[in-house]
Amino acid sequence: MDSKLKRLCIVSALAVISVAVFLVILMNQEKPNTLNTALLAQSQEAEAPRDVNQIGDDLSAFLKDDTFFDVDEDSFMGMALDDSNRLSLMVTSVEKDLRVQIVGQDGKPVSGKSFYIDVEELGEYKDLDKDGIIYIGDIASGDYHVSLNPMVGYKVPNNSTKIYVKDKVEYVPIDDISLLIKTEAEIDAEAEDTGVKDALEDADKTEIKKLQAGSKNTQAGIDVSKWQGEIDWDKVKNAGIQFAIIRAGYRGSSTGSLVVDPYFEANIRGAINAGLDVGVYFFTQAINEIEAVEEASMVLQLVNDYQLTYPIYIDTEGAGGNGRADGLDVDTRTLVCEAFCRTVENAGYTAGVYASRNWLNNNLHTEKLDNYVIWLAEYRSVPLYKGYYEMWQYTSKGKVDGIEGRVDLNISYIKE
């Protein structure tokens, strides 16, 4: 609402009040008798000069003064009329940490400013990268009080925000995760979306490239992302595809940003509308359990409005050797997968892990992942992987009507 409209509203309100007051006085005024008339004359003689803003007996004369509602934008009234620069704090904790987000009226972090916060028990911290988010890690559990220091041009909260820092990860979705989710328009997608299919290095000449039809105990499926572009899902359905696993997003391999796949919404809606069963996957570059909980929280928010019939998978492929998580040790990478899956299951969904045969054998403690659905990627006619798996991605070079170019083909083994 602009200032002229605000002033018009105020003028209208005051006019209504003035009319109401005048009517009340009129209704309660008694018709003066002779004595009252005399007393009234005496009182009028002794009456003090009228206020300069009152013209004659017109109680609403101030409304005719063009300068009466002039407001200094730096004055208290000016501040009250304009809340566009009012800030608030959103503070969360996953495990022995604090994430403080300085958000504006639109609920998004305010970037481009070097905000300072004061944590009563710890000291002062600065938003060094000016993204509206300040992260404080490796602190003791307990109660903390966070306040935002004054910033020229902004209205900051008067009171501090109290937050309890958790001692251990609870594997529950983060409520305000939406503030961390970015689109590809906000990042350098070419530098961030760099996942590499590890199964390609293990492929042999027996790789099956033709679609394997579903049977009594199996279903034929595909997995897709932005790389497939626009998809005609009715043609896909008619080609014999029964399910689709759709990429919800990825964590940037360089900055670690949480990014939604630009085709996620179109793909999941298209697949469901065509009558396919659906699941989703997320390409991880988490380097610890906290980040894994963030990734799971993002996916859970994205799928909230859809009915899934297949699991939510964490994709643990590498990012070409230069990804922020490519160098994780086996213990840490396994903990990342567990944290993701436990968070997903605590939200009421089925969780799974996607990886190639070599990745499962060398980069994960698969015995600790037995409670989750394993989605194996191995491009040969008969998999060599000795562990248990419920879905098999047997090629990345498939062709399906309704999709231009190549697509991954899968078989899901349905439990009787």
Architecture category of domain 88-165 in CATH: Sandwich (2.60)
Q: Summarize pLDDT for 136-195 with one digit per residue, the tens.
A: 988 999 999 999 999 999 999 999 999 999 888 899 999 889 889 999 999 999 999 999
> How many Å from the N-terminal Cα to the C-terminal Cα in the chain?
61
**What type of residue sits at position 215?**
S
Angle at 260 between CA 258 and CA 266, to 5 degrees: 170
pLDDT for 353 beyond 90: yes
* 268-294 residue pLDDT tens: 999 999 999 999 999 999 999 999 999
180-413, which class in CATH? alpha beta
Q: Is 218 exposed, middle or buried (0-12, 13-18, 19+ CB in 10 A)?
A: middle
pLDDT, mean of residues 212-218: 94
Q: What is the mean pLDDT of residues 14-37?
A: 52
| Position 146, amino acid | V
Output the pLDDT for position 49: 46
Looking at residue 7, its pLDDT comes to 57
Could you give phi then psi for residue 97, rounded to 5 degrees?
-150, 170
Compare 139 and 68 and report the one with higher pLDDT: 139
Mean of pLDDT over the chain: 86
pLDDT of 84 > 80? The answer is no
Q: How much is the average pLDDT of 66-94? A: 64
The pTM score is 0.75
Q: Nearest to residue 200, comparing CAs of 412, 358, 404?
A: 358
Position 217 pLDDT exceeds 90: yes
Where along the chain do its domains lie? Answer: 3-81, 88-165, 180-413
> Residue 390 and residue 372: Cα distance in Å, rounded?
10
pLDDT tens digits, one per residue of 218-265 = 999 999 999 999 999 999 999 999 999 999 999 999 999 999 999 999
Query: Does 364 have pLDDT greater than 80?
Result: yes
Confidence of residue 108 (pLDDT cuts 50, 70, 90): confident
Is the pLDDT at 81 greater than 60? The verdict is no
* Pairwise pLDDT comparison (413 vs 1), residue with the higher score: 413
DSSP H helical ranges for 147-288: 189-192, 233-238, 264-273
pLDDT at 53 over 50: no
User: Which bin fits 7, alpha (ψ -120 to 50), beta or left (φ > 0)?
Assistant: alpha
Query: How many C-beta atoms lie closer than 10 Å to residue 160's C-beta?
Result: 17
Place of tokens 């602190």: 139
In this predicted model, what pLDDT tens digit does every residue of 315-328 receive, in sequence order? 999 998 889 999 99
pLDDT of residue 65: 58
Structure tokens given for 168: 């251990």
- Record the tokens describing residue 403, joined without a space: 């999709």
